[in-house]
Amino acid sequence: MSEKVSIITIFHGDKEFISLIKDNYNNFLNKVNHTNYLQDLELVIVDDGKENLIKEFCDLENIIYLHLDKEEVEKYNEQILENYKQPNKSLLYYEKKRGRLTDGFLRDYGCGMSSHDNIFHMNMDCIYNPKSIERKINFMKRVGAECVFCDTTLAYDMYGKELYKTESPFKIYESTLFHTREFWKRRGFQWSDTTNEGKSFHYDNGIDRKMDNYYDTIQLLGIHNINQYKPVKVTIDGLNIKIPEIVSGINITEHPFKKYINELFNDEISILGLESEFLVNVKNDDHWKTHNITEKWKQTKLSKMIKNIDDKFNVFLYSSKHPAWDLFKNIQFDIIILETHKNYEQMCGIILENKVHEYIHVKGLFIRKDFLEN
The reported pLDDT for the residue numbered 1 is: 56
* Sign of the CA dihedral running 289, 295, 300, 305: negative
Check whether 9 has a pLDDT greater than 60: yes
The reported pLDDT for the residue numbered 334 is: 96
What average pLDDT score do residues 47-63 get? 96
Per the CB < 8 A criterion, the answer to whether 154 and 217 are in contact is yes
Give the H/E segment covering residue 111.
helix 103-113
The reported pLDDT for the residue numbered 330 is: 92
**Cα 100 to Cα 93: distance, rounded to the nearest angstrom:** 10
Query: For the segment 175-220, what is each residue's pLDDT rounded down to a tens digit?
Result: 999 999 999 999 999 999 999 999 999 999 999 999 999 999 999 9
The reported pLDDT for the residue numbered 373 is: 85
User: Hey, is 252 helix, strand or coil?
Assistant: coil
Number of C-beta neighbours around residue 184 at 10 A: 22
Q: How confident is the model at residue 87 (pLDDT cuts 50, 70, 90)?
A: confident
Q: Which of 171, 183, 189, 199 is nearest to 119 (CA)?
A: 183
| Domain boundaries 3-249, corresponding CATH code | 3.90.550.10
**Cα 206 to Cα 204: distance, rounded to the nearest angstrom:** 6
**Cα 339 to Cα 168: distance, rounded to the nearest angstrom:** 21
Query: Are domains 3-249 and 256-373 of this chain identical in fold?
Result: no
Give the H/E segment covering residue 14.
none
Q: Which of 227, 112, 272 is nearest to 181 (CA)?
A: 112
Q: Which of 304, 297, 286 is nearest to 319 (CA)?
A: 297
DSSP 189-247: --TT-SS-HHHHHHTTSS-EEE---GGGEEEEESGGGTTS---EE----S------GGG
Q: What is the distance of C-alpha 239 from the center of its chain? A: 27
What average pLDDT score do residues 150-159 get? 96
Percent of the chain with pLDDT over 70: 99
What average pLDDT score do residues 237-248 get? 89
Check whether 266 has a pLDDT greater than 90: no
What average pLDDT score do residues 239-268 get? 90
Higher-confidence residue: 277 or 363?
A: 277
Give the H/E segment covering residue 223.
none
Query: For the segment 321-346, what is each residue's pLDDT rounded down to a tens digit?
Result: 888 888 999 999 999 999 887 788 89
β pairing state of 288-293 and 269-274:
parallel
Q: How far apart are the first and last CA of the chain?
A: 55
345 CB-near residues (< 8 Å, 6+ apart): none
Check whether 38 has a pLDDT greater than 80: no
DSSP state of 105: H
Domain ranges, ordered by start, for the chain: 3-249, 256-373
| Domain boundaries 256-373, corresponding CATH code | 3.40.50
The reported pLDDT for the residue numbered 191 is: 97
Half-sphere exposure of 278 (CA within 13 A, CB side): 27
Residue 5 phi, psi (nearest 5): -130, 135
Looking at every residue in the chain, the average pLDDT score rounds to 93
**Cα 95 to Cα 368: distance, rounded to the nearest angstrom:** 14
DSSP 274-331: ES-HHHHHSPPPTTEEEEEE-S---GGGHHHHHHHH-S--SEEEE--SS--SSHHHHS
Q: How confident is the model at residue 255 (pLDDT cuts 50, 70, 90)?
A: confident
**Cα 322 to Cα 208: distance, rounded to the nearest angstrom:** 44
Q: How confident is the model at residue 236 (pLDDT cuts 50, 70, 90)?
A: confident
Q: Tell me the H-state helices in 35-89.
A: 70-83
The reported pLDDT for the residue numbered 86 is: 83
Query: For the segment 71-81, what is each residue's pLDDT rounded down to a tens digit?
Result: 999 999 999 99
**Cα 305 to Cα 299: distance, rounded to the nearest angstrom:** 10
What average pLDDT score do residues 112-129 get? 98
pTM of the complete model: 0.93
What average pLDDT score do residues 141-169 get? 96
61 CB-near residues (< 8 Å, 6+ apart): 29
Per the CB < 8 A criterion, the answer to whether 66 and 109 are in contact is yes
